[in-house]
Structure 1
């Protein structure tokens, strides 16, 4: 299959301060894309920009919170000012806060829903016009949503997190009916066990121990390995949409 260079493309990556988002930003920049980095931790973004530029790439740090409407709008305006319109959006920002449903941790549920679901929608709202315009002009346009295998596989105490990721997976599927006819590709990527900062959100000692046991027994993907998948789907010919990609460690069922 032929390959399309990412050189000349302009990407937005959310959750870029660490983990999969950071790795995606580095991969896209290494392949020639200009990359706008969105996350809350400005210091981490600045360090990542320095790294990209040291390797000859182009990057822009934009401190933003996907749970805040005004913050996302301001981020879009800042990106347009610096880079112009974008043609590749990677919705990666997310939080994982496991716990038994009967404990009723409503604030944690709200945080996951607002980040993992509504945050994705805010970013889509901010950049969908860019994607549609790029496709109408004959360029490749991609919306990549990072979901999780938890959208399909049930894990005790991860019920609400899994529900948010199932929402992202279904959202991606439905968006294809709106964007696909206008030549905007929508890809849903569902990583399995991956070594990122998400595991640090697990503060319950028992759940943390269970997760550590899974990492030891199964092994994990690296963030860079997931980033490689993102770059791969974005580099296919513009009429080819890898709509759904589940990527797992070989030992994960």
Structure 2
């Protein structure tokens, strides 16, 4: 793919300790952006940051929990102190917990809502001022929300996960009516099957086995391939918004 250099841009990537978030952070840094890595696992974050700096990039590891107001506020303060305002936010943190609805797993439902929906909103609230200010100064400003094909496609035992991702997709659409007129781009990326730790979150062995069977039959995208999509979208000229991108293995229906 053809990219514009991202030098001079400052990015925040949530869920950056592994999978898609890690791959996005690494690639944005390779393209020249300074990248703040947000996640809960400090040791893993430090390892990703070290990988980026070893490659000549700039990375800041910030331990943060998107489900906690104080944690996000502290992360914002640290990022602003180290890097100043940001102009690129990738909302990637999420959990995928599978169980039949009849199992009544309120604990899982609440965790997915808190992380996948409220956590996304919390990060948007934290950086809206930065994004609007950057666009107002004539600089490129991007909000990228990582949703899922589960927002549209139905998978058994993942009804609540799919509902949270449908909320993210619709939220992104609605935000364009507020951000677009102020030149802040909103891109919604909906991955299909991607190799990541998400599928390891489920504690139901039967459901996990069903997912493993689908992945074996269809295959997966690498996290780096999804990162390539994100990097391409945010490197377009400022007036071009790739507003919604669904990326999945060719064999996934």
TM over 0.5: yes
| Residue pairs, 1:206-217, within 5 angstroms | 206-217=206-217
Query: Paired residue for 2:17?
Result: 17
Partner in structure 2 of residue 31 of structure 1: 31
Q: Deviations over 1:207-246 (max 9, x none)?
A: 1111111111000001000000000000000000000000
- Cα pair 1:149 1:192 within 8 Å, conserved: yes
Q: Does the Cα contact within 8 Å between 1:2 and 1:237 map onto a contact in 2?
A: no
CA distance in 1, matches of 2:49, 2:4: 24
Q: What is the count of residue pairs matched by the alignment? A: 253
CA distance in 2, matches of 1:2, 1:158: 36
Residue by residue, what CA displacement relative to the aligned partner does 1:39-86 show, whole Å, maximum 9, x if unpaired? 000000111111100000000000000000010011001000000000
Cα distance in structure 2, aligned partners of 1:197 and 1:3: 28
TM-score, normalisation: structure 1: 0.99
Q: Give per-residue Cα distances to partners, 1:104-140, cap 9 Å, x unaligned.
A: 1001100000000000000000000000000000000
Q: How far is 1:203 from its partner? A: 2.0
Matches within 5 A, 1:161-176: 161-176=161-176
Cα distance in structure 2, aligned partners of 1:209 and 1:109: 21
Between stretches 198-207 and 84-93, larger displacement belongs to 198-207
TM-score by length of 2: 0.99
Aligned to 1:125: 125
Q: Do residues 188 (structure 1) and 188 (structure 2) align?
A: yes
| Alignment pair present for 1:95 and 2:101 | no
Structure 2 distance, partners of 1:236, 1:87, is 14
CA contact (8 A) 1:2 1:236 kept: no
Over 3 Å counting, the alpha-carbon distance change for 1:76 and 1:176 in structure 2 is: same
Q: Distance in 2 between matches of 1:101 and 1:88?
A: 36
Counterpart-to-counterpart distance in 2, 1:252 and 1:103: 28
- State the alpha-carbon separation in 2 of the partners of residues 68 and 98 from structure 1: 23
RMSD between aligned alpha carbons? 1.0
Equivalent residue for 2:223?
223
2:53 maps to what in 1? 53
208-217 or 83-92: bigger deviation: 208-217
Listed one character per residue, the Cα deviations across residues 143-190 of structure 1 (whole Å, up to 9, x for unaligned) are 000000000000010000000000000000000000000000000000
| Equivalent in the alignment of 2:155 | 155
Whole-Å separation in 1 of the counterparts to 2:205 and 2:68 = 31
Q: Describe the SS at the equivalent of 2:50.
A: helix
Deviation at 1:2, TM superposition (A): 7.8
Deviation of 1:11 after TM superposition, in Å, equals: 0.1
Give how far 1:3 is off: 4.7
Unmatched tracts of structure 2, length 5 or more: none
After TM superposition, the structure 1 stretch with the greater mean CA deviation from structure 2, 200-209 or 105-114, is 200-209
Greater mean deviation of Cα atoms: 20-29 or 203-212: 203-212
Question: What is aligned with 1:74?
Answer: 74
SS of residue matched to 1:16? coil
Indicate how the Cα distance of structure 1 residues 2 and 209 shifts in structure 2: closer, same or farther if over 3 A, else same. closer
